[in-house]
Every structure is written in C-alpha cells, then in structure tokens.
Structure 1
Amino acid sequence: MSLHFPFGPLRPVATAVVAVAALSVPLRALAVEPFTLKDIRVEGLQRADPGTVFAALPFRVGETYTDEKAAAALRALFTTGLFSDVRIEIEDQTAVIIVAERPVIARVNFSGLKEFESEQMLKALRDAGIGEGLPFDKALVDRAEQEIKRQYLTRSLYGAEVVTTITPIERNRVNVTFTMTEGEAARIREIRILGTEVFDEKTLLGQLELTTPGWLTWYTKSDRYSRAALNGDLETLRAFYVDRGYLEFAVESTQVTISPDKQDISIAVSVREGQRYTVTGVRLEGDYLGREDAFRQLVAVRPGEAYRGAAVTATQKSMTDLYGLYGYAFARVEARPEIDRANAQVVVVFTANPQRRVYVRRIDVAGNTRTRDEVVRREFRQLESAWYDGARIKLSRDRVDRLGYFSEVDVETREVPGAPDQVDLVVKVKEKPTGNLLIGAGFSSSERLSLTASVKQDNVFGSGNYLGVELNTSKSSRSFEFSTVEPYFTVDGVSRALSLFYRTTRPFNSLGDKYQIATPGASIRFGVPFSEYDTVFMGIGWERTKIGATAGIPNSYFLYRQAFGESSTAWPLTVGWARDARDSALAPTSGRFLRVNLEASLWGDVRYLRNNLQAQQYFPFGTQYSLMLNAEIGWGKGLGSRPYPLFKNFYGGGLGSVRVFEQSSLGVIDPTGAFIGGARKFNANAEFYVPVPGGGNDKTLRLFAFTDVGNVWREGEPIEARSLRASAGIGLNWLSPVGPLRLSWGTPVKYQPNDRIQKFQFQIGTAF
C-alpha cells in the first residue's frame, strides 16, 4: 500500500506513516488493525531527550495500539516544536517513532546595531521565539524581523532595514545573524495645533514634550515621534485647558504624516476649545462619617473661580487619604460637574462612598530574593492587627523606598476572602544591585586629577548593613577609610557607625610637595531617630595628627609645631542633629535640610570646640522652576591655654562656598602665601534653577543663576560686613553618566585687590 502526499510517498511496508499533512486524511485509509504493542523505539534523536518523546505518546508497551492513538501522538510531538518531521512505522508489533529534529539556534548575532544595546534586542527577540538554545523555525524569522522593525519605530527610525542570514553549523545547529541598516532617525519638522482661539499656538506648544529639532534635542530626543509620547501630550493639552475652565475641550483629530524619504514628520492636531466655565458652588453628597466639616476643609475648588481640573483631582485625593486615616481602605470619591451651558456655569458635586472600615490582618513581603524580610518590616509604621491607616502605609512605603535596596516598591491591598473587615498588605519589591566597585578618576579646576577607588555594599548579606572601603587621592587631600554602619543596632532604630581612617592634607598653595599633615584615627557614632525626619548623632573618636617635615611648611604651622610639638592627640566628642525633608537628595526642588554638628576635644594634647550649622531650603515655582537658599556657619575655639588648632580650620572659596574665588583661598593667608583657612566661617548661597531650553522638565540637567557671599576669619578676628566677599553668575548642573557635573561662571561683586579670582570653575566625578 502506498499513499501519496505533498511531502512524498509512504513506505510500502506494513506501516502506518503519518505526517502533518496526513492528519486531515481519514484514518481508515491507513487501515491498521489494533494490536498489542511489544516495544517502542525512537530514531533520529540528536539532542532532544528520549523522555520528551515518550512523555508525549498516548500509548505504552503492553497497551493496544490504534490509528486514533497514532494521530494523537503525532499531534503531541509536533506541538513540542522540537521536530520538523515525525513518522510512525509499525514493524512486527513495534512502534518506531522516526523524528527529524529542528535545528537549534547556537548564536544570535547583530551587525550594524547602534541604536540599541544588544542585550535589549536579544530580550525582544527571545520573546518572539528567536534565542540561543531555542529550536529554529523559518516561520519565526519574519516574526523576528517585524519585531526588530517595531523596536526601531519606537525610536523614529522608519527607514530601518533588516536582513537575516542563516548559517548552518555542525550538530544540526544554526547561527542567526541580523544585519541592520538603521539610517537616520526621522525628525519632527512641524507641529501645528489648529482651532485655537483662547491661547496662542506658541503657548500650547510649550506644554508638549514633543518638539521640533533644537540645539539640545540630540540629548533629549524630544524631536523623535512616538505614538505613546503624542498620546501623553494630548492628555497634557487637555489637562491644560480643563485646569483653566474649559470643561468641554476636545481633540477632534490628529494627523501624522511622514515624508517620502521617511526623514521628516509633520503633526497636526485639531482641537475644539469650547467655552470657559465658572464654578458657582460645591456640594458634598454621600457618607462623610459625620465629619463633613473636616472633609469640606479639603475642598480646593473655590466658587467664583474658573473650573480647575487639578483642584478637583487634588480634592478627591485628599478626601480619599482622609478616609484612609479612619481605616476605610476602599473609599471612593467621585466628582460630577453639573453644567449650565447657557450661563457658562458649573456646580461641582463630590459624591463619597466610604464602603467599609477594615483592619490589616497580615503584612507580607514579596520579590525579595536576597534582602531579609525583617529589613523591610522594620521600616513599616502600619502594624498588623491594627486599623488600616493610609498615611502610615504611605510613610512605610516611602521608608522602604529610601533604603535604596530596591528599584521598585509597591504596596498592594488585598481583600481577605470571607472577612469583609480585613485586608492583607503585600509589599512588592524589586531588588537592585547594592554593591559598588568603583575605580575611576575625577577632575576639578582646583584639585586637578584625583583618583578614587572604593568597594561598597549597602546591603551586606541582605542584612541592611553597610560596609565600605574607600581610597581617594587629590592634590591637597588623600585618604583611606574603612567604615561600617548598622542602621538597626537596636530594635528601636538606633544606628551605629564605625570608621577607621588615614588622611593626609596639605594647605592650598603650600610650598613644596613633600610637606603634609597626616592623621590616622578611628571613631564610633550612634544615631538616634526622634521622628521620621530627625536624627540625633553622638559619638567619640581618636585622632593623632602629625605635622610633617619643615621643608615647605607654612610659617603658621612651623610656629604651631615649635610650640606644641609635631604630634597632637585628640579625643573628639561629637553631637549632631539632622533633619532632611527634601523631596530628593540628588535633584531637590522642594523641602528643607537642616544640620547641626558640634565637635569637642576636652582632653588629650588638643582641646577645642568646633561647631558647624547649615540650613537649606528649596522653594518650587511651578513644575520647572525652583529657588534654593543655603546658609552655613562654622565656628571654632581653642580651650584652656591653647589656641584653636590650625589643622581643624575651616576653608572658604570655590564650589560649595563662595564661587568665583579660587578654591579655599579665602581667609587667613600665611606669610609664605599658603591659604590656611580660619577658625570662623560664614557663607550664604542662592540659586534659581531653570530647565535647559529644549530639555523639558528634566531635573538631571538644569541651569541656574547664583549669588554667593561669605568669608573665613581667624580666631579672635572681628567679623564685619565689610570683610565679606560676594559673587554672582550662572551655572549648569548635570547628573551625567560619568558622575555629577557642576559648572559655574561668574564675576566678583565684592572683593579685595589681592583676592585670587577664578571666574570659571567646574567639578566632575564627585558628589557636590
């Protein structure tokens, strides 16, 4: 018997040979009488495990074999995706499974890939079925090419072309190479907003993230079109109008056209503004728990003013948060405008449904593979078996996020089946690497080249403890430090920090490079939290300072060494307080930072008091502008019969102090010309931040205008306003990929003829 199919004839033996195309042929044409299987053999395997084949078979040795079972076996084997051809032959009551394995992808290579990282593209292709170790299927090649082109479309590379090359290699494997011709990215050459009467087109275009090419769009890439970005801009446009009373604003159409060479894109948005509505009243409906007055105080919508969508949203959020304080986790507050079109008036109705009060049954932590549960739990202020408190839950989430161990932190509220008055909280975290091995260099206009090397681990063995070894070199300061911090030394959150260090410093502008001040030491410090933002620090240390050889030594240090010896031992006690309520540590725009640190050495060779105070306040102006005011005071005094030690002096001038004046050049100048600082310090700074034109609302790249005032004085010298120095100018802050960069250019406003002026100053590679 021989049956012919598109893939070829069946063998003329007592067989039942079936392939994919044959599955649609009536099985009676294969006419194999049912029989009892004596054996099953598999032929043709090269890499696949025989167990994979046997697991897919619906029959076993000793069972009855039928045509229906054969067809089911073929379907199951083809479904695995491992085989390009499968046949079943029957020889002397033995089922012989003959398979032809699909080639396996050995490597996926890219040629001409510039726009994406290869890891990113490999992940996208693996999701499409193309990846190392996966079976190769020619049908997947087209799918992979479409996925690559889709990735390029997200970057406005509409002319990108992809050619796939399949190279067979030994052991039935293939290499897959994708050759890309990326071309140039299409740029948005024109954006038009049509149908506007109330606001001019330029004002509206300023609200959008998408822009036409500018001098900074090479960095922001805001001149590249994407549908998601356009949809976001349309929502921004709608929010802009609704927040100014135009409730019925609508986008009527959006047209995106691309030039024949796929290089230029034009966007036209047609809008209908509608009329402006004025709020005539606010009404509360629903259940406000008998505290309607408290909820009414949260209403940000004011009668007599234009309807403001942002005020309505803020009111809903404030009310929902207040319900959360009372334990109502599922409260809903809906806003409904009652529109009077004839008079262009609107009444805003807030309808509240608190639903039911609940308490937290259990708090679970999910997603932490290395960090211990207790590290997350000890930051939580919401307790188990306590009433649900929305404010405490938000504070808890923020505290976990501020640990810095996780890239994502989310708290999910889940109902407990059969218990309507209970919920479970699930803290979902996504861990990120917390170790840091750094070998690099920094460069500043004052320090020149400085080398840094450090090994840090913020979350040692998932315990939440810090361990670090740091090495720093620069022209005037070199240090080696080993430190460890245990944030929960006690269960109440008292932290303990231990530090061992060896530092060498040399006064700026000193004569000779061999002279230095060496200070080995150690310290221990405890931090006691008094609130969510306030911490009090207490500690003690040991330092032994040695003033080096006399070659090139400043005269002041020479006299100090003659009077008190080349080595001095101190046991400084430290007491401090810090309050950090800024919205961000790297790029803050609002909030306050306060710091007080008192250091006293009451016994040993050196006895002194040293105090340092700092106050910093940020004021936001809209979403793009902010003002920073900073003031710092340093004060030192010698105790007993000894003067204040020179090696504990404060320094002023340069970045972080009074810009435009050379780094650390303010204050006392030694007869040898070295800048040796002073025992008293004051500086005040003001910076007004604005976005870089074309940079949107990117807070990692900001321009600023500054004005600084301050100076440094020796112990006992009168502090007078006429001795202050002042400067003003402009600058740039950039959190660049190679480290924070700060540039400033200014001019002295109040100075003396002998001051060292440096109008342009910069620093990169270190924190500022």
Structure 2
Amino acid sequence: MLALPVQAFQVSGIAIEGNERLKPDTVLGYIDVETGDELGREQQAQVLRDLYDSALFTDVQLLREGNQLVIRVQERPAIAEIEFDGNHLIKTKDIETALEEVGMVKGRIYDKSVMDKLKLELERIYYSQGKYGVKLDAEVTELEDNRVAINIEIAEGFPARVTFINITGNKVFDDETLKDELKTGQPAWWAIFSDRDKYSKPKLQGDLETLRSWYLDRGYMKFSVDSEQVSISADKKDLYININVTEGDLYRVSDVRLAGQLVVEAEELEKLVLIEDGEPFSRKKIQQVTTLIKQRLGREGYARVKVNVIPEIDEASKEVVLDFNIDPGKRYLVRNIVFEGNHDTQDEVLRREMRQMENAWYDSGKIERGRVRVQRLSYISDITADLRDVPGTNDEVDLVYGVEERMSGSINLGAGYAQNDGVLFNFGVTKDNLFGTGNSLSFQVDHSSVTQSASASYTDPYYTIDGVSRSWSAYYRQTDSGVTTSSDYILNVLGVGLSYGIPMSEYSNLRLGVNVDQAELFCTVGSPQEVEDFLTSDVDKCVNADATKFNKFGDEYNTVTPAIGYVYDSRNRTIFAEKGIRQSLNLEISLPGSDLEFYKSEYAAEYYAPVTDRTVLLLKHKISYGSGYGDDLDTLPPYEKYTAGGIRSVRGYRSRSLTSDAGTIDSLDNAYGGDFRVAGGVEYVLPPPTDNNNLRFSVFYDFGNVYSVPEEFDAKALRTSAGVAMNWLTPIGALVFSYAEPLEHEPRDRTQRFQFTIGGSF
C-alpha cells in the first residue's frame, strides 16, 4: 500500500480503515468522490479538507492500493461522561443547558474547541450574575475504547458588589429619587439580609425598564435609556454602573376617545376611564383602563378582547389625544371546565368552588373568583386559568385550571419554647383533605407549664350542596394561671362543640354553633380574694389549699353556650394575605339555667392593602365585651375575662399582664382581666429577603388594654408599643420573633421587649 502519487488516477473502489464507531457510509458521506472518478492532487486535498472539517477525526491519511483509494482515519474520542462540581449560584439544569448548546453531550464526539466554547459560555453566565472571580478547571481523562471522561471544577468565588450607580442626563428627577426605584444599588444600613448590591444582568435590565416606566407614567413619552456601562475594579470586588438617559418633554392628555365595537353602553365604559383631561400622560393608567375594559367586556362573554391605544401627539402644544380602539372579538361559550394537576383532590371538590358554569357564556369575573376560591384552600399551593379552543368550532372554549397541590396531611411530634408558656411539647395528626374530599380531621395534644390540652375536630366544608359547613369538636384543657403574671387559679375544662357555617354571599357567611362545657375551678394558696369570692364553698377554703390536689376546694360549672357569628372575608390568601378585608362579629351566651349565666361578644377587623408590588399595609382592631346576667352573676367568671399583652396581643408587654382601672387588678396586685377590651395596630409587612415565601419581616405599632367595664374606658390608659417582627413557617412549626419598645406605659406595667415562640401555633 502506497501513499497517493501526485499524478491522477481513476478510482476503482474506496476502502475505509481505522474507523471504530463510525460506519463506512458515514465517512463516505463527507467526501465528494465515487468509484470511477478521476482523483488528482486537487481532489485529494479537498477530500482531506472535508474529512477534517467534519471534526470527527484527529488524523486522516489517503493511501492507494492498486487503483483503490484507501482512507485511513483516527476517530476523535467520544464523551463517556460529564461531571461538574462546585456550582451553587448556577443551577445544575442551567449548566446542562449550556452543555447542550455547545454540543457537549454524553455520546457526542469530544472536541477541544468545543470545550473552549463551553468555558466561555459558563463564564458569560457567571459574569451576568456578578461572579467575575469565577474559575473553571476542566480535566479530560482518557478511557478505554477511545472514550473520555470530562470533569469540570467550578470555583465560583465571591460576587462583585455594586458600590456606585451614576445616572446622567436627568434634570427633572434627581439621582436619589430615581435610584430609590431600582432593585440594584446600595442597601439600607438596617437591611442586613438584602441582596440589593448583588449584580445580575437581568436585574439591571429590569431596572432600566423600571426607569422607563417611571418616566412614562409621569408624562415623559419620549424618555429613553441611551446606554449603560458596567465597570469592575481591578480586584474584581466592586462594580460601578453608569446609566445615560434622555428625559424629553412633558406631555399632557387633552382628550380620551372610545372607538370600535363598544358592546355595552358608552357611558358605562367611560366611567372606567381613569384619565382626566390635562393630567400628564401615564402608561400605567392606560394599562389600567385597558384592563378594566377587557374585564367589563369579559363579563359579557368576550374572552379575547383587544384594546388598541393610539396616541395622537401635538408636538407644538405637547399634548396627546388617546384613542381607545376596542375590538371585542367573538362571544364565547364555555363548553367544559377541566382541572389538571389534582392528583389527590377529587374533581368535585374543586368544581364546587367554581362560579363559572359549563355550557354558559364566558364570564371573566366568575372565572377569577373561582380561581381565588380554590387558591384559598389550604391544600392548594397555586392555580392558573387558561382557555383552550374547541376543535371544529370558533365560538366555544374549554376552561382549563392548572392546579398545584401541597401536602395536606401531617403528623407532628415536637418540642419548642415560649417565654410565657415555657417548654412546649406537642403531638398532632392533621389531614386537611381527607381522602381527597376536602374534609379535615385533626387530633392534637399539647403540654406546657401553663396549659395541658387535648382536642379533636372534624369539618365538612360542604355538608350540604349549598355550601353549608359542619364542624364537630371535643376538647380538654387544664390551665395553671399561677405560672403567668395573671391571677392564680387552676382550671379544668371538658367540652364538645358543634357549629355550622352558612354562606350568605360570595364573601360572607353566618356561623351558628353550640358548646357544652364542664369547667372545674380550683383555688390555690396564691389565689386572690376575687377568686375566693367567686367560689361558693367556705370562704377560708384557699388558705391551706394544695394546688396539686385537684379534687379539693373547687367548684364545678356546667354551661351550654350557643354562639352566632358573622364573617366577611375577601382576602386573597388565608396566610400572609396581600390584599382584602376580614371582619367578624361574634356573640356567645350561656343558656339560662346553666350554672354560670354570661355572654361574650367581639368585633374584629383586618384590612390588607398592597403598598408596592411586594409590601403590604395591615390595619387591625378588635373590641371585646362580656358580662354576666341574671341574679347571681354581674361580671364574667375569672377564667372567661379578657386579657391583653404578649406577642399575639400588645407586643412589648408580658403575656396577659396589662391592667387599667382598679377592677382589672386583683387583691395580690396581679392582672385580673376585665369585661371590656380594646386592641389594634398598624403593621407594614416587608418583602421576603430571599425567595423563601414562608418568611416575613414587618414593622408595627400596637395598642390595647383591658377595662373592668366599658364605662371605665380611657384612651389615655391604652398601652402602646412599636417594633419589628419576624414570622417564619418551618417544618417544626411557626417561629415568631418580635422586638418592641413600650411607648405609653405605667411604672407597674411588666414590659418584655424581646418575645418569641418556637414550635407553637401560628
């Protein structure tokens, strides 16, 4: 076998040698030579170029055996495995995507040039996240059968931090005003968990769009971001960002016109136009009006409304006329409602929350309300609503709800600590979606130095087809109040309850129920005179009482207590709500003939209002009043009195410790409680510092106190505090921390600035 001569020859055949994985036909597919062709010097050179360009071979030789062309090749190794380690910031799936984009996949041919491309791609990804100090080390190990193993070691290093942002070209708004709107920048001194100074290219692009929106919402229609430059210090630790802008002129709206097919009366749509003549142009208001028009027509069956806003600009006067051109499209009928993703929850459980009916006109308001109702279920994590065209029709759609479920059952055995209750032990079994029916069943046992309790409950939220709910409960509770700062006594309560919830409207329901209780009240050597006077046995019975002997020196009270309540709840979520209102009015009264004849009432309200996209303002207040009735009781029993103070009341004060007038203080100078209570506060809920949606920080102002009777109410006696709080839902339970500074307080008040509970109820 000889190397090919310079002179041409006619090829009588072609043979492939050295190939291991590639078939001969695959190799031949890369060259333009066939049997019978004349093969000269130029053709030989072209064959070599074609085979090397395929990137499949490390060496190619052309040989001649008689008039047969012999192509001897050495294949590049195949990639047997790819491993990478050290990536924390960049997800593994993102690296795998980068590998696929450059063609480095298990089973493919290994090419060193591709490895260089991979390094550049990974560096680009890390640089876009501010990791300019990243180091990549790729090790290629040869294996048998002409294969290689690739191991990529990633040392991410520390991210470069944004230390300075400069905006040039702005004259109307100063730098500080604009930089406050950006997510990138220097964090406040108190924001210890903030990642605001963490750079990423997507975040910067989002900030540039925020600047555009800021100006477009304030009348500057011709605003533009001309350029942005990002520079890094020599040690790759500090980033400097410069943004160049052109503000342009201020434009005002001179007129707003509606055109197209309005479907409903023009006057009705005109009420949705929130833009007044003479006010600055605002893209945000235009989008709001567009959304309102689509929602209004959506309630008439028009599922795909198009609103095209055409601005007519008068450059001389700097005024603009806005034309809202409305195209309602077709009116759609919802054929079927389909649920996807509900693996555990029965279809009818979700369907009963729907307000849009099948074979009825599309109604965007009812569809959204059904989505929110399902989202409020404790065993549903998220839900989306989409439309799917029905084949063969042009005016029917299927409504598809995509459901994401969360775990609905739990068995917990744990321990925790609360400052006011001491060590907590608990065991519980809860199932909020029993057998996928939406019914809930729970058993709970708790033990602390103050309270030992056991309870069981069962709720059917749709006891009737009309949405009437029914709940059963049984409970036992033993309380030793002497461990706290309130009056000393021991109480045992055994009871059962039954309640019904009757829907009155989309957001409100009426609750009717009854509790049957047997309460045993015991005094101790530390009990005050007020507890002794309440008990009906010998007046000296508490002098030598042994608190550990629960069969001595006590009275037993049997009561039947019907209850009625009204609840209005428009919150979008039951935990960490972002908007909506919850109001409740409750009244319970023990029946005449019970051992104790008394009543209790309470009005409570919570108002949630979004301030920004990620912060919420919460306003809350509560007014409670109760008393005895009949000849034997003119006040609430000691164990039914209202108390105030503590982490779930007025923070900054010890639990159940607040007092006002003399009637709220017992003979031993401890808090006795009262028949009247006022409490409330303002809380500003901050965005989660990370992607953890189970964590919230807030700043708050609390007020409240108890009074012996309403006539003793004095606003000057209200105790107030201000501070910061953290609520964190964890697998072991809720972690609640607060630090409050008491403001309006008296010398006898028992303050407690730092308060927390771990493993308690939320």
Q: TM-score, normalised by structure 2?
A: 0.78
Deviation at 1:137, TM superposition (A): 6.0
Correspondence for 1:754: 748
Q: Give the Cα–Cα distance (whole angstroms) in 1 for the partners of residues 402 and 761 of structure 2.
A: 31
Give, as a single letter, the amino acid of the residue that structure 1 aligns with 2:557.
Answer: S
Q: Are 2:740 and 1:745 aligned? A: yes
Report the CA distance shift for 1:189/1:138 in structure 2 as closer, same or farther (over 3 A). Answer: farther
Give, as a single letter, the amino acid of the residue that structure 2 aligns with 1:7.
Answer: G
Report the CA distance shift for 1:489/1:657 in structure 2 as closer, same or farther (over 3 A). Answer: same
Correspondence for 2:714: 721
CA contact (8 A) 2:600 2:625 kept: yes
Gaps of 5+ in 2: 2-12, 36-76, 538-552
Report the CA distance shift for 1:589/1:411 in structure 2 as closer, same or farther (over 3 A). Answer: closer
Report the CA distance shift for 1:178/1:541 in structure 2 as closer, same or farther (over 3 A). Answer: farther
Correspondence for 2:204: 230
Report the CA distance shift for 1:588/1:511 in structure 2 as closer, same or farther (over 3 A). Answer: closer
> Which one of the candidate residues 589, 594, 619 is aligned to 2:583?
594
Report the CA distance shift for 1:122/1:624 in structure 2 as closer, same or farther (over 3 A). Answer: closer
Deviation at 1:201, TM superposition (A): 0.9
Correspondence for 1:686: 681
Other structure's SS at 1:220 match: coil
Deviation at 1:450, TM superposition (A): 2.9
Report the CA distance shift for 1:327/1:585 in structure 2 as closer, same or farther (over 3 A). Answer: same
Report the CA distance shift for 1:162/1:721 in structure 2 as closer, same or farther (over 3 A). Answer: same
Q: How does 1:411-560 map to 2 (within 5 A)?
A: 411-509=385-483, 516-548=490-522, 550=524, 552-560=526-534
Other structure's SS at 2:208 match: helix
Q: Give the Cα–Cα distance (whole angstroms) in 1 for the partners of residues 389 and 500 of structure 2.
A: 41
Moved more, 150-159 or 680-689: 150-159
Give, as a single letter, the amino acid of the residue that structure 1 aligns with 2:627.
Answer: K
Correspondence for 1:353: 327
Q: Give the Cα–Cα distance (whole angstroms) in 2 for the partners of residues 695 and 536 of structure 1.
A: 39
Q: Give the Cα–Cα distance (whole angstroms) in 1 for the partners of residues 435 and 83 of structure 2.
A: 36
> Which one of the candidate residues 313, 316, 325 is aligned to 1:339?
313
Q: Give the Cα–Cα distance (whole angstroms) in 1 for the partners of residues 461 and 582 of structure 2.
A: 20
Correspondence for 2:627: 637
Q: 1:31-57 CA deviation, whole Å, 9 max, x = no partner?
A: xxxxxxxxxxxxxxxxxxxxxxxxxxx
Correspondence for 2:168: 194
Give, as a single letter, the amino acid of the residue that structure 2 aligns with 1:615.
Answer: A
Q: Give the Cα–Cα distance (whole angstroms) in 1 for the partners of residues 140 and 346 of structure 2.
A: 47
Report the CA distance shift for 1:762/1:175 in structure 2 as closer, same or farther (over 3 A). Answer: farther
Other structure's SS at 1:425 match: strand
Report the CA distance shift for 1:646/1:421 in structure 2 as closer, same or farther (over 3 A). Answer: same
Other structure's SS at 2:276 match: coil
Q: Give the Cα–Cα distance (whole angstroms) in 2 for the partners of residues 529 and 444 of structure 1.
A: 37
Q: Are 2:231 and 1:257 aligned? A: yes
> Which one of the candidate residues 626, 649, 661 is aligned to 2:653?
661
CA contact (8 A) 1:125 1:147 kept: no
Deviation at 1:501, TM superposition (A): 2.2
Deviation at 1:553, TM superposition (A): 4.6
> Which one of the candidate residues 548, 570, 575 is aligned to 1:581?
570
> Which one of the candidate residues 603, 620, 631 is aligned to 1:613?
603
Correspondence for 1:243: 217
Deviation at 1:319, TM superposition (A): 0.7
Deviation at 1:447, TM superposition (A): 3.1
Correspondence for 2:705: 710
CA contact (8 A) 2:300 2:363 kept: yes
> Which one of the candidate residues 637, 644, 657 is aligned to 1:652?
644
Q: Give the Cα–Cα distance (whole angstroms) in 2 for the partners of residues 232 and 9 of structure 1.
A: 52
Q: 1:447-499 CA deviation, whole Å, 9 max, x = no partner?
A: 34434443333222222222223333333223222222221121111112222
Give, as a single letter, the amino acid of the residue that structure 1 aligns with 2:623.
Answer: I
Moved more, 157-166 or 592-601: 157-166
Question: How many corresponding residue pairs?
Answer: 681
Other structure's SS at 1:656 match: coil
CA contact (8 A) 1:435 1:456 kept: yes
Q: 1:192-233 CA deviation, whole Å, 9 max, x = no partner?
A: 222111111111011111113554665231212222212211
Moved more, 596-605 or 231-240: 596-605
CA contact (8 A) 1:482 1:499 kept: yes
Give, as a single letter, the amino acid of the residue that structure 1 aligns with 2:244.
Answer: S
CA contact (8 A) 1:707 1:728 kept: yes
Q: Are 2:564 and 1:568 aligned? A: no
Q: Give the Cα–Cα distance (whole angstroms) in 1 for the partners of residues 405 and 735 of structure 2.
A: 24
CA contact (8 A) 1:651 1:677 kept: yes
Give, as a single letter, the amino acid of the residue that structure 1 aligns with 2:475.
Answer: F
Gaps of 5+ in 1: 11-15, 30-100
Q: TM-score, normalised by structure 1?
A: 0.78
Q: Give the Cα–Cα distance (whole angstroms) in 1 for the partners of residues 486 and 574 of structure 2.
A: 39
Moved more, 695-704 or 192-201: 695-704
Correspondence for 2:18: 7
CA contact (8 A) 2:356 2:362 kept: yes
> Which one of the candidate residues 341, 351, 366 is aligned to 2:340?
366
Give, as a single letter, the amino acid of the residue that structure 2 aligns with 1:294.
Answer: E
Give, as a single letter, the amino acid of the residue that structure 2 aligns with 1:121.
Answer: T
Q: Give the Cα–Cα distance (whole angstroms) in 2 for the partners of residues 613 and 9 of structure 1.
A: 83
Q: Give the Cα–Cα distance (whole angstroms) in 1 for the partners of residues 482 and 446 of structure 2.
A: 17
Deviation at 1:188, TM superposition (A): 1.2
Deviation at 1:636, TM superposition (A): 2.4
Report the CA distance shift for 1:18/1:554 in structure 2 as closer, same or farther (over 3 A). Answer: farther
Correspondence for 1:302: 276
Correspondence for 1:732: 725
Correspondence for 2:673: 677
Give, as a single letter, the amino acid of the residue that structure 1 aligns with 2:327.
Answer: N
Q: 1:308-354 CA deviation, whole Å, 9 max, x = no partner?
A: 22111111111111111111111111111111112111111110111
Report the CA distance shift for 1:242/1:113 in structure 2 as closer, same or farther (over 3 A). Answer: closer
Correspondence for 1:81: none
Report the CA distance shift for 1:514/1:102 in structure 2 as closer, same or farther (over 3 A). Answer: farther
Q: Give the Cα–Cα distance (whole angstroms) in 2 for the partners of residues 171 and 458 of structure 1.
A: 57
Q: Give the Cα–Cα distance (whole angstroms) in 2 for the partners of residues 237 and 197 of structure 1.
A: 14
Report the CA distance shift for 1:5/1:449 in structure 2 as closer, same or farther (over 3 A). Answer: farther
Q: Give the Cα–Cα distance (whole angstroms) in 2 for the partners of residues 569 and 758 of structure 1.
A: 37
Report the CA distance shift for 1:686/1:218 in structure 2 as closer, same or farther (over 3 A). Answer: closer
Q: 1:264-313 CA deviation, whole Å, 9 max, x = no partner?
A: 22222211111000111111111112511111111111111111221111
Q: Give the Cα–Cα distance (whole angstroms) in 1 for the partners of residues 465 and 585 of structure 2.
A: 26
CA contact (8 A) 2:349 2:437 kept: yes
CA contact (8 A) 1:279 1:303 kept: yes
RMSD, aligned α-carbons = 4.1
Report the CA distance shift for 1:9/1:478 in structure 2 as closer, same or farther (over 3 A). Answer: closer
Deviation at 1:630, TM superposition (A): 2.7
Report the CA distance shift for 1:295/1:156 in structure 2 as closer, same or farther (over 3 A). Answer: same
CA contact (8 A) 2:160 2:239 kept: yes
Percent of residue pairs bearing the same amino acid type? 30
CA contact (8 A) 1:587 1:700 kept: no
CA contact (8 A) 1:216 1:694 kept: no
Give, as a single letter, the amino acid of the residue that structure 2 aligns with 1:675.
Answer: A
CA contact (8 A) 2:446 2:454 kept: yes
Q: How does 1:260-271 map to 2 (within 5 A)?
A: 260-271=234-245
Q: Give the Cα–Cα distance (whole angstroms) in 2 for the partners of residues 394 and 274 of structure 1.
A: 40
Q: Give the Cα–Cα distance (whole angstroms) in 2 for the partners of residues 339 and 695 of structure 1.
A: 44
